[in-house]
Amino acid sequence: MSVHEIADAIRGFSGVTRKNSIREVVDLLPTRDFPHVFVAEGEDAAALDVGDKYVLFAADGIMESLLESSPYHAGYFAVLVNVNDIVAMGGRALGMVDVLSTMDGNVPMEVIRGLKDGISTFGVPIVGGHTHPDCKYNAIDISIVGTVSKDALLRSDTAMPGDDIVFIIDTDGYYPEEVPYAFVTTMGKPGELVRAQMEAVAIAAEKHLIHACKDMSNPGDIGTLGMMLESSGKGATVDVNLIPRPHDVDEIRWHLSYQGCGFVFSCDPSHSAEVIEIFKEVGCDGAVVGKVDDSRILRLTDGVDTAVLFDFSNDIITGIVSDRNS
């Protein structure tokens, strides 16, 4: 598979292109006049200053197509994606509230079954919410809160030139038939192991090993890195041959997958090996896959050919560049 084919697939992938509208919402709902808002736009969760800690606050809604194809997975992933958003900030999740909108049928109970299994796996309770039992549609949306020490907060706009780009991925998983671009790694595993994988991010953050972080979400592994670089006002060259991947998974499908447990880190090179070792102890593969630079261009290489994936002087993913990097 050529790097040009990989770049074309990522650039046109709906998991990437559907992020383009974020900037329009951000422009309409500014947060600059609220001094307790430490970080917000462009991050996996907002960090609100409450004194000695930050409260982390995030929300996620599940795509209609997933709810239609598998209500159970929709409920489970509603928990997973929200927990990951707190974890990606270096935090620990405390609780969630949900909004469940339903029509008649079996969908509500299947969603709830997925929610219950997600709560059991990740150890984060749903403590309230709201139900719309008489809708003309089905939907599940969750909001989550967590906390993080002020000196352990991870951001996505703080990648630095010369940093190693470290990909951490649990490659022990599978693709459900109903969700062809979700690589499931947390179902069927002991909750203790899944929670240890989440805790590993907080441990690395508290040891100050990481400059920047995002969890690998809908844009896939390289697309998520693109969001980090865009927000940080930086570029990078990534060697696709170094990215952890199961041997039996198609390369393009892999790069377009939502990872059940996957993180993009920007680290000082002196810390990369320790970060990789922390996650190896909880069953995750890790590798240094590239370097951050000042170019504002994300390039892919296979050691022979090189392709430009994004040139952030012209291209956008979210269109959000941190004030500190604009």
C-alpha to C-alpha distance for 174 and 141, rounded to whole angstroms: 25
In a domain, 29, yes or no: no
Q: Is the same domain home to 65 and 140?
A: yes
Q: Is the same domain home to 192 and 289?
A: yes
- Using the 8-state DSSP alphabet, how is residue 242 labeled? G
Count how many domains the chain has: 2
Instruction: Provide the pLDDT for residue 32.
Output: 81
- Domain range holding 96? 44-150
Q: Is the same domain home to 169 and 217?
A: yes
C-alpha to C-alpha distance for 77 and 83, rounded to whole angstroms: 10
The pTM of the full predicted model, rounded to 2 decimals, is: 0.94
- Tokens representing 46 are 């907002």
Q: Is the same domain home to 179 and 280?
A: yes
Q: Is the same domain home to 90 and 164?
A: no
- At which of 127, 150, 173 does a domain end? 150
Q: DSSP for 115-176?
A: HHHHHHHHT--EEEEEEETT-SS-EEEEEEEEEEEGGG---SS---TTPEEEEEE----B--
Evaluate whether 74 touches 140 at the Cβ level (below 8 Å). Answer: yes
Give the CATH number, domain containing residue 262.
3.90.650.10
- At which of 119, 150, 181 does a domain end? 150
C-alpha to C-alpha distance for 311 and 309, rounded to whole angstroms: 7
- Tokens representing 242 are 């170094």
Evaluate whether 74 touches 112 at the Cβ level (below 8 Å). Answer: no
Instruction: Provide the pLDDT for residue 254.
Output: 98
Q: Is the same domain home to 86 and 161?
A: no
Give the ranges where 34-106 is alpha helix by DSSP (H): 64-69, 71-87
Give the CATH number, domain containing residue 104.
3.30.1330.10
In a domain, 112, yes or no: yes
Q: Is the same domain home to 194 and 145?
A: no
Helix, strand, or coil here: 214?
Answer: strand
- Give pLDDT tens digits along the chain (326 positions): 899 999 999 999 988 988 877 777 777 777 888 989 999 888 999 999 999 999 999 999 998 888 989 999 999 999 999 999 999 999 999 999 999 998 877 788 999 999 999 999 999 999 999 998 888 999 999 999 999 999 999 999 999 999 999 999 999 999 999 889 999 999 999 999 999 999 999 999 999 999 999 999 999 999 999 999 999 999 999 999 999 999 999 999 999 999 999 999 999 999 999 999 999 999 999 999 999 999 999 999 999 999 999 999 999 998 888 776 65
Q: Is the same domain home to 218 and 300?
A: yes
Q: Is the same domain home to 106 and 230?
A: no
In a domain, 262, yes or no: yes
C-alpha to C-alpha distance for 154 and 141, rounded to whole angstroms: 24
Q: Is the same domain home to 65 and 192?
A: no
Q: Pseudo-torsion of CA 61, 48, 50, 33, nearest 10°?
A: -130
- At which of 103, 132, 150 does a domain end? 150
- Using the 8-state DSSP alphabet, how is residue 106 labeled? S
C-alpha to C-alpha distance for 58 and 229, rounded to whole angstroms: 21
